[in-house]
Amino acid sequence: MNDNHAMALYLIGDVQGCNDALGKLLEKLQFSPSRDTLFLLGDLVNRGPDNRGVLRRVMALGNSAQCLLGNHDLHLLAMHLGLHPLKRGDTVQDILQAPDRDALMHWLRHQSMALQQGEVLMVHAGVLPQWTIAQTMQLAGEVESVLRSDDWPHFIAQMYGNQPAHWRDELQGTERLRVIVNALTRLRFCTPEGEMEFAHHRGLDETPSGYLPWFDVPGRQTAPHTVAFGHWSALKPMQRSDVLEMDTGCVWGGCLSALELHAHGPGQHQRIEVACAPTSHSAA
């Protein structure tokens, strides 16, 4: 944790509508929006009890909160457009019925698909093994440009699907954007060649045959750096310098976690955590 004077940068994992826990974590960090910066790693909403409160709180922080879009955030945009119905366990009705719904959705679709701070790359879910940090940021920017454009409803309508399952540089249009979105917001397992698999979402002891966790693929181009990600609450803590898993299962009765970043990467500090009350929904 920082002292009362030094600027601090914090990574925070999946909040998923747990606004009370987020408030307690910021208090524990002694967070000052005039001094410090938060990097929230996506899935700001859904499954938790106060999604509207999370978005309003983070919006109010302005540039001191840098946010990624996760799969649940994109799902909310699809529901806002009427393109996807509410699914069992969805709790975003508070946003969909909010008087400031349009402003919240406008803000949400202007958030990032990937962020970089020094030698740390931040994504919600994962990075394909053949992507460098520079390429990841470039591809994320392609999706961000469409999301922020007037054509964003058409993009959201075409976004869903598991195919193509692997990246090719020559991909164009909808297929290209879909692979980028799936890698950055849904990826857990892939083959050594980078073909993605989406059926399994448990821990590493249930790795499907022929696949690896994306961060264990030999020759991964981002391996010399640190990749911070959320999305995978079933992961057990890994003491590694190349990956930082930040989803500690807040919405499932775990913790909401923060980790301070220093000039060249994560510090040696322990994670700062606040306990969360479990919701009535099962994991998805």
Q: Is the pLDDT of residue 281 over 60?
A: no
Domains and CATH numbers, the chain: 9-275 (3.60.21.10)
**Amino acid 49: pLDDT:** 96
Q: Dump pLDDT digits (tens) for 210-269.
A: 999 999 999 999 999 999 999 999 998 888 889 999 999 999 999 999 999 875 556 555
pLDDT tens for each residue of 191-206: 999 999 999 988 999 9
Question: Residue 12: which residues within 8 A CB-CB, separation 6 or more?
Answer: 22, 25, 38, 39, 40, 41, 246, 256, 257, 258
Instruction: Out of 50-59, 108-117, 130-139, 258-267, pick the least confident.
Output: 258-267
Cβ within 8 Å of residue 82, ≥6 positions away: none
The strand pairing partners of 265, in sequence order, are 262
- The yes-or-no verdict on residue 160 having pLDDT over 70 is yes
Let me know: does 184 contact 124? Beta carbons within 8 Å.
yes
Dmax of the chain from CA atoms? 51
* pLDDT score of 201: 87
Structure confidence by residue, pLDDT tens digits, 51-76: 999 999 999 999 999 999 999 999 99
State mean pLDDT over 20-45. Answer: 97
Decide if 187 contacts 196 (C-beta within 8 A): yes
Q: What is the mean pLDDT of residues 16-44?
A: 97
Of 193, 127, 189, nearest in space to 166 by CA: 193
Mean pLDDT score of the chain: 93
Residue 153, H or E segment: helix 152-158
**Residue 283 pLDDT greater than 80, yes or no:** no
Residues 271 and 284: their CA atoms lie apart, in Å, by: 25
Residues 71-85 have a mean pLDDT of 96
Phi, psi torsion values for 131, nearest 5 degrees: -85, 130
Q: Residue 98 to residues 18, 44, 54, 203: CA-CA distances in angstroms?
A: 17, 16, 13, 36
Neighbours of 188 (CB within 10 A): 26
Residue 41: pLDDT over 80: yes
Predicted confidence at residue 278, as pLDDT, reads 67
- Name the band, by pLDDT with cuts 50, 70 and 90, for residue 80: very high
